[in-house]
Amino acid sequence: QVQLVESGGGSVQAGGSLRLSCAASGYTGSSYCMAWFRQAPGKEREGVAHINSDGSTSYADSVKGRFTISKDNAKNTLYLQMNSLKPDDTAMYYCAADYTSGYCHALGVAYFGYWGQGTQVTVST
């Protein structure tokens, strides 16, 4: 049974940094599409970044140049390094995975079959 467990959220001042982690278990294959989403109160869940099993990545325009997604395959852990944080980055952050392919063929919420419970990130001025 696949499980995703996020950690690393917290409160930080604007301009600060956080690194989120997502420990994955229950899947030992090498093909995956994994992503970070976030959801602020009253807003829809939105994609932040995703990574394919070949290591290629993409980012939402709002986080390009500030966030970096990566995966340690040996530890089966997904990361999101967040720098230059802004108050608009405040949200619950979720890790998501699809293991049907090594490439993310879609980036919407409905594409991903596995989700973590979320970790809160709060950025203050």
- Cα dihedral 42→44→48→52 (10° resolution): 150
- pLDDT band at residue 103, thresholds of 50, 70 and 90? confident
16-35 pLDDT per residue, tens: 999 999 999 998 788 899 99
CA distance 61 to 67: 10
**DSSP tag of 103:** S
Name which of 69, 75, 82 is nearest 33 in CA terms: 69
50-77 pLDDT per residue, tens: 999 999 999 999 999 999 999 999 999 9
